[in-house]
Amino acid sequence: MKPGAKKYPHIFSPGKIGKLETKNRIKYASTETNFNYADGWVADKEVAYMEAQARGGAGIITTQGAFTDEGGEGKGYVGMMAIWDDKFIPGLKRIADVIHKYDALACLQLMHCGRVGGIHLDYTVGPSDVPQKLPRFRPPREMTVADIEQCIDEHIKAAVRTVEAGFDIVEVSGIVGYLLSNFLSSYTNTRTDEFGGPPEKRAEFSRRIVEGIRKAIGDVPISIRLCGEELLFDRGGSTPEESLLMNKIVCDAGVDLLSVTAGWQESPVSVISRDVEMGHWLYVAERFKNNLDIPVSMAYRLFVPEIPEKAMADGRLDFWEMCRPMIADPMLPNKILEGAEEEIRPCMACNICLARLFRDAELCCMVRPSLGHESEPEYGFYGFPKAGKKKKVLVVGAGLAGLQTAAIAAEKGHDVTVYEKEDHVGGQFAAASNGPWGDSEFMRLVNYLEGQCRKHGAKIETGTTVTQELLDKEEADAVVLATGALPSTDVPGSDKPNVVNCLDVLRGKVELGKRVVILGATGVAISTALFIIDKGGHEISIVGETKKLGLDVNPSYIWRYRKKLKGGGVEQITLHKVKEIGDGAVLAIGPEGKEAEVPYDTVVLADMTPNTPLKLTKGNAFTIGDALITRRGNAAILDAYKLGMKL
């Protein structure tokens, strides 16, 4: 018995979906990639990505959503694949075939994006003309009964094509604001005909799709993704009791597996970000598990196997579904099975993947730059080959960038030493992990990168400051400067005793006075403020030059961070340039040259600038990450990864 099967017996036991048995209870959940062609044809890059997912060991592999209508009203992403015509079947079959190579069940998802669709149109469609809350989407147009009948027929025909393409399971998506969820929700469905009104009628559209698919494909299993809690309480959305009733009606029409979720894109609360504790939404899955006679799966915030294993043991869940964790590491199931959990590249729930998709760009991942390059050996998704010539590589700094470069260089067979002046690795990321609301998860990535360094033989020397003399003595073939960033001290008065470093604040090294003024406008300043808010007992002001704070922060987070700043009573002084830190007040210049004095007991410097203690001029020297230019963590990883590829 494999170590993982012994440790997680429920996860690695066979599962049952309709007439089919799965080799384990792990389901890779659907995600769009934007890898495909704009006209809906499947691209080689998509096939390679899906093969990587299948090779990783999950029992069920689900494709991205395929839009079902020729006009593209259901298309919500520029690179979304199509299934509205038989001509797409050969391309879709390529995906089914690579999934079957690895003894996994192939599941194709049908997805009409509804009020968040129509990517190439100037409108979207839905049950009713309810204005959009999110500005990036187009205005909705109410569907006629004829439109609805046609849409149902399109789903049924697409399901038949799914089976013809060789897929084992047909899945229908009805979550996060897509068309089925639009009909189910009292927020977006204000119809008074047979498809609107009470919950039973709001469920009719989805019920008829399932019923029609069941009649058309016989006993081929049907999976459906439905929202268990809309979390639209601020705008008249369906209650949890209504969602349970409607979802049961839909499932009773012929569904074999329910994938239950929580929240919409328009929901005013956190759903899948770090400030939602792992396992939080299991109570939703349990509700449906207790009221349905079919298996229930869930994907949201179940990043580590201990949580779904216990949920299965307790009878709250049947299948562990994963999207972002397997974007970060498609090999996750096999690594768990082999007892190599420390080698899993962990998802940080940073949601850069979603931010890319919503900006019509290809999917990317903060922690895995090989995403989308699975078929390109130089990106090392299946491991880096040994370099032709062994080099001596010296890395200065053990933050994200330094550790990532060192890990790849060592894997390629180089003699690698990492020097770090602190007594621990992780750099700014380790400091940020002290923040509240889930930021402790940052250490999962730090620990992974450190583990990869040690696995491949890189030496890590902490508590060591690198000098020019040390560099000269080492005579390395390559020197990598990955010393990160530090708060700028260019502001006059920054040498005063009550002026402190934001990293020292996050590390708990300083005592703060009652009135705290933070200098900086980026995510670093916001993270520092959130840390202080969580500690309590301080009056906080942030002074920054931009019109809004946190322009570098992911959209999935910034709206909530701003909400937390407001809730914490933080004074936000924007469009102001700090002129001087005076005695007891910060002097800043605002629009039209007006001066403002901001009183303080402690000033926190949080305007980051590259830290370059060494001036490297030789051709074998490389500067990466924040030491080159201050950015976010994904840029540090990408810099480091690409340098590691070249060494």
pLDDT tens column, 510-529: 999 999 999 999 999 999 99
pLDDT (0 to 100) of residue 154? 98
What's the pLDDT tens digit per position in 455-479? 999 999 999 999 989 998 989 999 9
Residue 92 above 90 pLDDT? yes
In this chain, the answer to whether the domains covering 3-378 and 391-484+611-646 adopt an identical fold is no
**In terms of CATH, what superfamily is 3-378?**
Aldolase class I (3.20.20.70)
d(CA 509, CA 503): 9
13 CB-side CA count, 13 A: 11
Residue 99 above 80 pLDDT? yes
What is the mean pLDDT of the segment spanning 285-291?
98
Q: In terms of DSSP bridges, do strands 608-610 and 485-487 run parallel, antiparallel, or are they unpaired? A: antiparallel
| Amino acid sitting at position 478 | A
**Which of 495, 498, 557, 491 lies closest to 519, judged by CA?**
491
369 DSSP 8-state letter: T
Q: How far is CA 366 from CA 120, 294, 352, 626, in A?
A: 28, 36, 7, 15
Average pLDDT, the chain: 96
What's the pLDDT tens digit per position in 145-160? 999 999 999 999 999 9
pLDDT cut 90: percent of the chain above it = 96
Q: Where are the domains of the chain?
A: 3-378, 391-484+611-646, 499-608
Residue 616 above 80 pLDDT? no
What is the mean pLDDT of the segment spanning 489-507?
97
Of the two residues 269 and 312, the one the predictor is more confident about is 312
Q: Residue 346: CB partners within 8 Å, gap ≥ 6?
A: 303, 325, 328, 329, 367, 441, 444, 445, 448
Q: How far is CA 128 from CA 69, 108, 227, 240, in A?
A: 19, 28, 19, 21
d(CA 125, CA 150): 13
Domain 499-608 has CATH 3.50.50.60: yes
pLDDT band at residue 132, thresholds of 50, 70 and 90? Answer: confident
**Which of 261, 226, 220, 253 lies closest to 96, judged by CA?**
220
| Amino acid sitting at position 525 | A
pLDDT band at residue 614, thresholds of 50, 70 and 90? Answer: confident
| Residue 8 annotated to the active site | no
The active-site residue out of 28, 49, 77, 178 is 178
How is domain 391-484+611-646 classified at the architecture level of CATH?
3-Layer(aba) Sandwich (3.40)
d(CA 192, CA 274): 40
609 DSSP 8-state letter: E
